[in-house]
Amino acid sequence: GAGVSQSPRYKVAKRGQDVALRCDPISGHVSLFWYQQALGQGPEFLTYFQNEAQLDKSGLPSDRFFAERPEGSVSTLKIQRTQQEDSAVYLCASSLFAGGSSYEQYFGPGTRLTVT
């Protein structure tokens, strides 16, 4: 595709529900990043994939958060038993990372999650 796409764009969940957020990176991009952006704040790193390998998940706030990228393209961020503090915009970014590239990350429009 032309850019990074994310779905759904908006998600309202009742506290305790599980949610799944999808990211379609730019075709051919090796690296994929998830960030969480709370209202009025800058994005904060959650987790990072290179192809299908999850290289860093140090930013995941709790074991309720889980991410996967099984075939090295589409990624899903899953949040189990959602809490109100999970309300945020979840941003996905991809980068080419082809050795010698400038490592520019391209961002999707985000999924705004509201937990009620």
Residues 62 and 83 sit within 8 Å (Cβ to Cβ): no
Q: Per rule CB under 8 A, is residue 36 in the interface with other proteins? A: no
Q: Per rule CB under 8 A, is residue 106 in the interface with other proteins? A: yes
Reduce the secondary structure of the chain to three states and give it as a string: CCCCEEECCEEEECCCCCEEEEEECCCCCCEEEEEEECCCCCCEEEEEEECCEEEECCCCCCCCEEEECCCCCCEEEEECCCCHHHCEEEEEEEECCCCCCCCCCEECCCEEEEEC
Q: Per rule CB under 8 A, is residue 4 in the interface with other proteins? A: yes
Binding other proteins (rule: CB under 8 A), the pick from 7, 17, 45, 68 is: 45
Q: Per rule CB under 8 A, is residue 114 in the interface with other proteins? A: no
Q: Per rule CB under 8 A, is residue 108 in the interface with other proteins? A: yes
Q: Per rule CB under 8 A, is residue 44 in the interface with other proteins? A: yes
Least Å from the CB of residue 101 to other proteins = 8
Q: Per rule CB under 8 A, is residue 56 in the interface with other proteins? A: yes
Interacting residues with other proteins (CB under 8 A): 4, 31, 33, 35, 40-45, 48, 56, 59, 91, 93, 95, 97, 101-110, 112
